[in-house]
């Protein structure tokens, strides 16, 4: 059986991060446009195989709210009593002190500037990232840019740099150590390689198994390179010398074994490494024999002589030492983090410890001061980061930030001081300083945050008792607070107290230091998927499936709701409007007349205009009808004007004082009330021209395209309020042909021309020829984009019509479009008339996309492609545009072409128009998005966000004929569209996030959930929360064995659970069940059991399997619970009108943990220890056993289909079992005889084929076949493993759904949706034999012929190591990640690749698009 494994959602969260100057915009200080914000630096983040590049922008806050707040504040201040500089600080602090000196010092920085993330690029890699570092190589001195070093799980290091030509990362080199002797050992897959780089970029080190480092030295000067060249025949153009493997035991010191962590130390002449290791391993039960087994060794690397002398050796560190943090050069030494203390070690081996609980003294003999009696911190999972030379933050796993100050006595460190908590942030995975005052905290389980730190010295003039409690809140006007305020504690801005009074300028003044910490921005993420289920949701008027996933961890836990299409809500139906051929909602106002001129004050392109009229048009009745509608007082629609004929386009004109109305044969200027002001018939002398098929309007220009591919250009004269034809002689003869065109208004100064000295006329573009242009010349320029039939795209400057850009690469959709510097390409009419070609460009549009920065994108339709302009290098030409375009998205749609012969009225009525419609929307007060809607039979939203880049999201409608953003009802988030349901006014569902491949909504619950299930009879969600409770151990008689007996000593924690019944309509918990404090839920399922209480004889129940943990001396127990969701009378004031309760029907205690449950033919199947039981529900009050089976060691999953049962075991792999009812018994049909771990098992079938899919904890997908006719199966007793496919991430949950194909069969195909611990979702889809062969050949071509990011090998990435077979078993599963690269290639490259495998490009794209639908 063949299948396709395809990721429908990338990983979520941040595991590794690097801050560096990677893109050229960080050097120039501004991004490519003058009017965009300043770029401070790049932050590159990764999670498993996803690498994302962000720029950190410093920009002014959204101006509107800032000015309004300021104006409101000043309104309350009496004239003459405004605060002087410094008083405001005093009032906000509320402490009655002013320090003018400190205010002056901080006043240099603009307080109104905010730091924001801005997405640049992302890559899905064929490898799992295990580390990232910034390095500088010799070419850095030429371009001042850092390089990115990335390490991978299979012991590879890739050196990447930014290429301006490709506007992307390119691979400089890849270094592989997978064949090193250390990697050949059997336990090497369990090892996780780590990457570290020297602060001065002299070398990088990658940790390998068996206590070894792979060292990669870099050249820093030409002298080093020359020396190396003399010694060996070394290639001159590589930035590194040959790498080598350093065996720590043999080459450095035999005591360095079991490396825990290592770091490079700054401030040494040679690269210097500190290694934390444990020569004798121990654990809590062996502390009497072995304690303080951790050691720290500091040694230097002499890369030339290969000599490694040890500088410092420190032994006797606590056994639970976890990580190292290098200190600044001025301080020297290193910080060691342990579970119970923080230790500073200097170069002279002096140790200064800070215990944070009472356990530190009990597990270690190291001398340390006594812990505070109130202190009981736990440092596991913490991250350390320096904020200045003598202060570092400990960010604990619950997000609490503790500053620790290093106190010096002369030049030696005397003690470490733990200061009070200053904030709660996200759960940390990585913490990095971005620059002097910005701090990035990345999280794998929730949002990652960018925080700003500010230190202030203040006089200490407080009463003694207040010194510990004074805090300052930094109310930053510019801070755009997150919706998830509870995630970050008090996110207004939290600040800290510090003690440590130091003497000020005079002996009498004491000052203290306060650290302000404010939230700047965050990268949204939802974290690992623990479990998931499908529920029903409403999209508009239709019910659609919604995937509800239990995500996150700790206080960041909750639910994430994914939908395939962008979820919307229908506000009203407007059938009276019609509009099957087009709808335009326009803001038009009465003009003001001054000195006989009518003008309107020029406003910004996205000023808050409210629409006043709607123009709609229909093809029926012939020759069509157009309506002009306005809103009446009762929010209804009135249609005062009807015009016969079809409207092609309409737009506000003359600064929104009139309407420019284009019909099939005329262009009209209308007054706001619909009366005609001017009509221009589209005639050639007295002869009628071809019908107008499309047009583009951009005040004061109008472009029309006719059906015979000729164009007309008109310009408005503001003084007369009329339009006239514009001379087009620079564009060639009247007979010149064009197939698409549009105008574009550049508001950010990206499109910038440059002229050579020979043509001063090109500079005349700056002159203004109309009053309108004079009004708005300061902030925008206008351009005309045209496409000729031979596939040439041209950009002309307005109003003088100078050709500034020309390219032929658009017809084949190449990845980069650059100016070809060709002269005007004439295209003459053909005889007979040209037929439309398959790859003709139907429509072209340049429109801004984005959130805070509106960057123009070029849209081309037939294949929807989006390019993003990027400033290139100057080239010699008379006048040219300093811009190039690079492809961001390419998406193929299947469309049905109408034959040209059909010219009837019916054919015109059936015609589907596919057009790009730009829009601007404000779904909420904080956010304004500019996007584009693509109408037609595959309608979709094209949206770009600051954090997620550009996304193409389906709208979910069968067909959309017309679309417009509409604020007629005074809401900036409304859209009016004519779909298969008629004209509808709708809005996006609130709080929908668009920065991922699937639109999603987060439901924060401040706790994590381990299991979730949908109860279909009441449309309810039942979830098991994962909590912690204090645990005390008791003996058989119930006497407590141990109690806390000292300061800072506490009971340990144990997992516990509660069951919650949740309404998915409002996400309120209706009822719950609390288990014992030492009982946790393992399994949760909705099962259909036989019962006498209903007419049908069966009913849905909730089955729960639990573990009861009794400590290490008593055997673990378990229990099976059966709950029923029953409807109760609800209070009329409650939000969900129908209210339900959980009713416990049965509690059945077991001698072992109940780890899996499912239903089969009306019976309950549950595991208990090494047994499987089948039980019936008797009288709704007890479970009666009817069959059992001895199975493996620990059952991880149970799945049933008809009377077949699949059992997944942690050791004994997969069993296929049949259930027989007369007599009752379980019969083992077949099992996998190899020792494998199965975390999930599922049935997978298509047509008449059945396979069994299993996943293990390493991420290996296996497909098993049950085939008694195969001799290898020993008569069907053994399951045959035919396929192994490595996904490199652990799967926690799978759902089998139906996949219905065009050739509808009686039984649909099975499709599997899997959720992973890194937050990604993937599907396993059955593939037909013919399609599989085509795509497998294509996969081979793509592996060999396409440049892969970081030079990784896609084929090797999927191979599973299996010593029992001679060849890898990865043939039967296609790699969707690799195949998706085909769609991004240019057309000529696609044709070349498909020609080599004897197939057609269109056929391959058809196969691909039919397989990648999420569900």
pLDDT(1085) > 80: yes
pLDDT(69) > 80: no
Looking only at the bridges linking them, the beta strands covering 1373-1375 and 3-9 are: parallel
Band of residue 942 on the pLDDT scale cut at 50, 70, 90: very high
Q: What is the pLDDT of residues 1159-1171, one digit of tens each?
A: 999 999 999 989 9
Q: What is the mean pLDDT of residues 955-972?
A: 90
Alpha helices in 1010-1128 (DSSP H): none
Q: What is the pLDDT of residues 218-273, one digit of tens each?
A: 987 766 666 666 555 555 567 888 899 999 999 999 999 999 999 999 999 999 99
CB-based contacts of 637, cutoff 8 Å, min separation 6? 574, 576, 577, 614, 629, 630, 631
Return the C-alpha torsion angle 528, 534, 536, 540, nearest 10.
60
Report the first-to-last Cα separation within the chain, whole angstroms.
20
Q: What is the pLDDT of residues 393-430, one digit of tens each?
A: 999 999 999 999 999 998 899 999 999 999 999 999 99
Q: What is the pLDDT of residues 578-628, one digit of tens each?
A: 888 899 999 987 555 455 454 544 444 444 578 888 999 988 777 788 999
926 against 225, higher pLDDT = 926
Q: What is the pLDDT of residues 801-814, one digit of tens each?
A: 888 888 888 878 88
How buried is 336 (Cβ within 10 angstroms: 0-12 exposed, 13-18 middle, 19+ buried)? Answer: buried
What's residue 46's pLDDT? 97
What's residue 112's pLDDT? 66
* Range of weakest confidence among 95-99, 671-675, 1343-1347: 95-99
Q: What is the pLDDT of residues 288-332, one digit of tens each?
A: 999 999 999 999 999 888 899 999 999 999 999 999 999 999 999
What's residue 225's pLDDT? 65
Q: What is the mean pLDDT of residues 919-932?
A: 88
What's residue 481's pLDDT? 34
What's residue 619's pLDDT? 83
Q: What is the pLDDT of residues 464-491, one digit of tens each?
A: 333 333 333 333 333 333 434 333 433 3
Laid out side by side, the sheet with 1240-1246 consists of 1240-1246, 1249-1255, 1260-1265, 1280-1286
What's residue 757's pLDDT? 31
Band of residue 1307 on the pLDDT scale cut at 50, 70, 90: confident
What's residue 866's pLDDT? 56
Band of residue 971 on the pLDDT scale cut at 50, 70, 90: confident
Band of residue 838 on the pLDDT scale cut at 50, 70, 90: low
What's residue 507's pLDDT? 42
> Long-range contacts made by residues 220-225, C-beta under 8 angstroms, separation at least 24?
220/136, 220/137, 220/138, 221/138, 222/138, 225/138
Alpha-carbon span 966 to 289, nearest angstrom: 76
Band of residue 37 on the pLDDT scale cut at 50, 70, 90: confident
pLDDT(215) > 70: yes
What whole-number percentage of the chain has pLDDT above 70?
83
Band of residue 462 on the pLDDT scale cut at 50, 70, 90: very low
* Range of weakest confidence among 178-182, 228-232, 574-578: 228-232
What's residue 87's pLDDT? 38
* Range of weakest confidence among 26-30, 893-897, 1375-1379, 1397-1401: 893-897
pLDDT(113) > 90: no
pLDDT(725) > 80: yes
Give the single-character DSSP code of 61. Answer: P
Secondary structure (DSSP) of 980-1029: TTEEEEEEEPTT-B-SSSS-EEEEE-SSEEEEEEEETTTTEEEEEEEEEE
What's residue 478's pLDDT? 34
1309 against 854, higher pLDDT = 1309
Q: Is the preceding peptide bond at 1317 cis, omega within 30 degrees of 0?
A: no
Q: What is the mean pLDDT of residues 151-156?
A: 93
Nearest to 283 by CA among 358, 339, 210: 339
Alpha-carbon span 998 to 995, nearest angstrom: 8
| DSSP SS3 for 199 | coil
What's residue 32's pLDDT? 45
CB-based contacts of 285, cutoff 8 Å, min separation 6? none
| DSSP SS3 for 1380 | coil
What's residue 146's pLDDT? 94
* Three-class DSSP labels, 88-109: HHHHHHCCCCCCHHHHHHHCCC
Band of residue 1093 on the pLDDT scale cut at 50, 70, 90: confident
Alpha-carbon span 478 to 124, nearest angstrom: 34
| DSSP SS3 for 1408 | helix
Q: What is the pLDDT of residues 786-834, one digit of tens each?
A: 988 888 888 888 888 888 888 888 878 888 888 887 777 665 555 555 5
What's residue 1247's pLDDT? 84
Q: Which residue has the tokens 């001195």?
A: 141
What's residue 984's pLDDT? 93
What's residue 869's pLDDT? 54
What the block records as the tokens of 493 is 């801005």
Q: What is the pLDDT of residues 445-454, one digit of tens each?
A: 999 999 999 8
Band of residue 73 on the pLDDT scale cut at 50, 70, 90: very low
What's residue 407's pLDDT? 93
Q: What is the mean pLDDT of residues 1283-1309?
A: 88
pLDDT(3) > 80: yes
Return the C-alpha torsion angle 909, 913, 919, 921, nearest 10.
60
What's residue 1336's pLDDT? 95
pTM, two decimals, is: 0.89
Q: What is the mean pLDDT of residues 1330-1358?
A: 94
Alpha-carbon span 643 to 470, nearest angstrom: 72
pLDDT(1321) > 50: yes
Q: Is the preceding peptide bond at 1305 cis, omega within 30 degrees of 0?
A: no
pLDDT(1230) > 80: yes
Q: 498 vs 88, 95, 404, 489, 1225, CA distance in Å? A: 22, 15, 10, 20, 71
Give the single-character DSSP code of 227. Answer: H
* 8 Å CB contact between 1288 and 7: no
The mean predicted confidence, pLDDT, of the chain is: 83
Q: What is the pLDDT of residues 871-885, one digit of tens each?
A: 433 333 456 777 888
* Range of weakest confidence among 82-96, 250-264, 975-989, 1295-1309: 82-96
Band of residue 839 on the pLDDT scale cut at 50, 70, 90: low
Count of beta carbons in the 10 Å neighbourhood of residue 190: 9
Q: What is the mean pLDDT of residues 1174-1199?
A: 93
Alpha-carbon span 1245 to 1240, nearest angstrom: 16
What's residue 211's pLDDT? 92
Nearest to 1157 by CA among 1143, 1167, 1168, 1146: 1167
What's residue 835's pLDDT? 56
Alpha-carbon span 1077 to 1030, nearest angstrom: 8
Laid out side by side, the sheet with 855-861 consists of 816-817, 884-891, 864-870, 855-861, 843-849
Alpha-carbon span 1064 to 1140, nearest angstrom: 12
What whole-number percentage of the chain has pLDDT above 90?
53
Type and span of the H or E element at 74: helix 63-75
Q: Is the preceding peptide bond at 832 cis, omega within 30 degrees of 0?
A: yes
pLDDT(89) > 60: no
509 against 707, higher pLDDT = 707
CB-based contacts of 669, cutoff 8 Å, min separation 6? 653, 658, 659, 660, 661, 676, 677, 678, 679, 721, 722, 723
pLDDT(1181) > 50: yes
Looking only at the bridges linking them, the beta strands covering 879-881 and 147-152 are: unpaired
Count of beta carbons in the 10 Å neighbourhood of residue 1149: 11
């Amino acid at each position: 059986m063949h299948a396709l494994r395809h990721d429908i959602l990338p990983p979520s969260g941040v595991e590794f991060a690097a801050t560096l100057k990677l893109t050229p915009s960080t050097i120039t200080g501004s991004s490519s446009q003058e009017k965009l914000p300043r770029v401070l630096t790049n932050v590159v983040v990764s999670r498993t195989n996803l690498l994302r590049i962000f720029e950190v922008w410093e920009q002014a806050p959204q101006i509107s709210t800032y000015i309004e707040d300021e104006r409101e504040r000043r309104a309350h201040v009496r004239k003459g009593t405004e605060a002087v500089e410094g008083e405001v600080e005093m009032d906000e602090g509320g402490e009655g002190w002013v320090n003018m000196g400190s205010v002056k010092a901080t006043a240099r920085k603009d307080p109104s500037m905010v730091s924001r993330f801005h997405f640049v690029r992302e890559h899905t890699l064929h490898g799992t990232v295990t580390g990232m570092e910034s390095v500088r190589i010799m070419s850095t001195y030429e371009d001042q840019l850092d390089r990115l070093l990335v390490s991978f799980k299979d012991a590879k290091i890739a050196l990447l740099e930014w290429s301006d030509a490709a506007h992307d990362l390119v691979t400089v080199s890849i270094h592989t150590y997978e064949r090193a002797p250390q990697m050949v050992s059997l336990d090497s897959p369990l090892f996780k390689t780590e990457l570290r780089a020297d602060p001065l970029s002299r070398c990088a080190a990658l940790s390998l198994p068996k206590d070894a480092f792979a060292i990669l030295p870099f050249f820093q000067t030409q002298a080093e390179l020359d020396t190396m060249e003399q010694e060996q025949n070394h290639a001159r153009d590589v930035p590194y010398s040959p790498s080598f493997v350093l065996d720590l035991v043999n080459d450095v010191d035999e005591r360095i074994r079991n490396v825990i962590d290592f770091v490079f130390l700054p401030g040494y002449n040679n690269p210097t490494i500190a290694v934390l290791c444990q020569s004798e391993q121990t654990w809590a039960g062996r502390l009497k024999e072995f304690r303080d087994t951790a050691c720290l060794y500091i040694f230097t690397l002499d890369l030339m002589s290969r000599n490694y002398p040890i500088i410092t050796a420190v032994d006797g560190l606590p056994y639970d030492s976890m990580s190292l943090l290098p200190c600044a050069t001025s301080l020297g030494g290193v910080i060691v983090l342990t579970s119970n203390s923080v230790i500073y070690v200097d170069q002279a081996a002096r140790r200064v410890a800070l215990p944070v609980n009472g356990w530190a003294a009990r597990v270690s003999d190291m001398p340390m001061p006594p812990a505070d009696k109130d202190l009981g911190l736990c440092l596991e999972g913490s991250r350390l980061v320096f904020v200045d030379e003598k202060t570092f933050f400990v960010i604990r796993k619950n997000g609490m930030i503790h500053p620790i100050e290093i106190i010096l006595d002369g030049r030696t460190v005397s003690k470490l001081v733990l200061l009070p908590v200053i904030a709660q942030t996200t759960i940390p995975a990585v913490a990095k300083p971005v620059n002097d005052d910005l701090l990035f905290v990345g999280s794998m389980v929730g949002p990652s945050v960018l925080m700003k730190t500010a230190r202030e010295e203040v006089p200490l003039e407080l009463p003694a008792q207040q010194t510990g409690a004074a805090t300052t809140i930094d109310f930053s006007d510019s801070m755009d607070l997150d919706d998830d305020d509870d995630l970050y504690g008090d996110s207004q801005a939290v600040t800290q107290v510090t003690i440590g009074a130091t003497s000020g300028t005079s002996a009498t003044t004491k000052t203290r230091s306060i650290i302000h910490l404010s939230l700047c921005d965050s990268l949204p993420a939802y974290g690992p998927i623990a479990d998931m289920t499908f529920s029903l949701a409403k999209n508009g008027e239709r019910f659609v499936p919604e995937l509800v996933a239990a995500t996150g961890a700790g206080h960041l836990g909750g639910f994430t709701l994914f939908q395939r299409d962008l979820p919307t809500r229908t506000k009203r139906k407007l059938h009276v409007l019609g509009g099957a051929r087009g709808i335009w909602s326009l803001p038009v106002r009465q003009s003001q007349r001054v000195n006989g001129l009518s003008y309107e004050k020029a406003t910004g392109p996205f000023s808050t205009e409210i629409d006043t009229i709607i123009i709609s048009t229909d093809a029926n009745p012939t020759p069509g009808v157009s309506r002009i509608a306005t809103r009446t007082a009762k929010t209804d629609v009135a249609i005062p004007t009807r015009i016969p004929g079809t409207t092609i386009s309409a737009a506000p004109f003359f600064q929104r004082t009139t309407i420019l109305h284009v019909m099939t044969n005329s262009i009209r200027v209308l007054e706001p009330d619909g009366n005609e002001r001017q009509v221009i018939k589209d005639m050639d002398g007295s002869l009628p021209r071809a019908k107008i098929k499309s047009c583009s309007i951009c005040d004061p220009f109008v472009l029309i395209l006719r059906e015979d591919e000729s164009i007309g250009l008109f310009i408005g004269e503001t003084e007369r309020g009329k339009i006239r034809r514009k001379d087009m002689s620079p564009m060639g003869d009247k007979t010149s042909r064009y197939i698409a065109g549009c105008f574009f208004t550049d508001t950010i100064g990206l499109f910038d021309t440059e002229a050579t000295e020979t043509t001063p006329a090109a500079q005349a573009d700056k002159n203004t020829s109309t009053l309108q242009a004079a009004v708005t010349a300061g902030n925008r320029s206008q351009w005309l984009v045209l496409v000729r039939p031979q596939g040439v795209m041209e950009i002309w400057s307005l109003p003088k019509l100078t050709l500034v850009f020309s390219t032929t690469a658009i017809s084949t959709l190449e990845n980069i479009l650059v100016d070809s510097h060709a002269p005007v390409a004439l295209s003459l009419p053909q005889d007979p008339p040209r037929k439309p070609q398959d790859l003709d460009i139907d429509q072209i549009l340049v429109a801004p996309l984005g959130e805070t920065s509106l960057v123009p994108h070029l849209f081309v339709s037939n294949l929807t492609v989006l390019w993003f302009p990027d400033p290139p290098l100057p080239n010699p030409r008379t006048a040219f545009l300093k811009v190039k375009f690079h492809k961001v998205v390419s998406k193929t749609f299947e469309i049905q072409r109408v034959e040209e012969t059909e010219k009837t009225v019916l054919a015109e009525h059936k015609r589907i128009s596919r057009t790009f419609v730009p829009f601007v929307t404000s779904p909420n007060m904080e956010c304004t998005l500019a996007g584009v809607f693509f109408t037609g039979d595959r309608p979709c939203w094209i949206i770009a966000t600051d954090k997620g880049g550009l996304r193409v999201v389906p709208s979910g409608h069968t067909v959309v004929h017309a679309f417009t953003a509409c604020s007629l009802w005074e809401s900036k988030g409304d859209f009016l569209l004519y779909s298969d349901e008629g004209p509808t006014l709708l809005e996006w569902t609130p709080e929908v996030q668009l920065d991922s491949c699937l639109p999603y909504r987060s439901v924060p619950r401040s706790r994590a959930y381990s299991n979730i299930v949908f109860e279909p009879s009441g449309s309810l969600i039942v979830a098991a929360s994962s909590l912690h409770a204090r645990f005390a151990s008791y003996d058989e008689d119930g006497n407590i064995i141990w109690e806390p007996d000292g300061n800072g000593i506490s009971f340990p924690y144990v997992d516990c659970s509660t069951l919650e019944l949740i309404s998915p309509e409002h996400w309120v918990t209706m009822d719950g069940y609390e288990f014992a404090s030492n009982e946790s839920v393992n399994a949760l399922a909705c099962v259909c059991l036989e019962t006498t209480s209903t007419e049908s004889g069966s009913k849905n129940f909730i089955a729960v399997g639990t573990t009861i943990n009794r400590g290490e001396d008593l055997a673990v127990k378990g229990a099976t619970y059966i709950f029923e969701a029953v409807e109760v009378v609800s209070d009329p004031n409650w939000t969900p009108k129908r209210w339900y309760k959980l009713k416990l029907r049965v509690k059945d205690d077991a001698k072992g943990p109940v780890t899996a449950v499912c239903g089969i033919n009306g019976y309950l199947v549950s595991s208990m220890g090494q047994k499987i039981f089948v039980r019936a529900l008797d009288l709704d009050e007890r479970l009666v056993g009817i069959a059992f089976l001895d199975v493996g060691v620990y059952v991880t999953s149970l799945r049933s289909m008809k009377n077949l049962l699949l059992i997944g075991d942690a050791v004994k792999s997969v069993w296929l079992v049949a259930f027989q009812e007369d007599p009752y018994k379980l019969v083992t049909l077949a099992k996998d005889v190899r020792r494998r771990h199965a975390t999930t098992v599922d049935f997978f079938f298509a047509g008449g084929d059945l396979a069994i899919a299993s996943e293990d904890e390493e991420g290996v997908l296996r497909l098993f076949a049950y085939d008694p006719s195969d001799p290898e199966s020993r008569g069907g007793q053994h399951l045959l493993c035919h396929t192994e496919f490595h996904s490199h991430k652990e799967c926690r949950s799978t759902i089998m759904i139906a996949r219905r194909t065009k050739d509808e069969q009686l039984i649909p195909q099975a499709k599997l949706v899997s959720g992973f611990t890194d937050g990604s979702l993937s599907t396993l889809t059955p593939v037909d034999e013919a399609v599989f062969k085509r795509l497998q050949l294509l996969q081979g071509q793509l592996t060999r012929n396409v440049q892969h990011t970081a030079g990784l090998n896609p084929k090797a990435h999927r191979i599973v190591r299996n010593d029992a077979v001679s060849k890898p078993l990865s043939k039967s599963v296609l790699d969707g990640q690799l195949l998706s690269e085909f769609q991004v290639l240019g057309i000529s490259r696609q044709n070349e690749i498909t020609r080599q495998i004897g197939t057609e490009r269109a056929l391959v794209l058809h196969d691909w698009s039919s397989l990648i639908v999420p569900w």
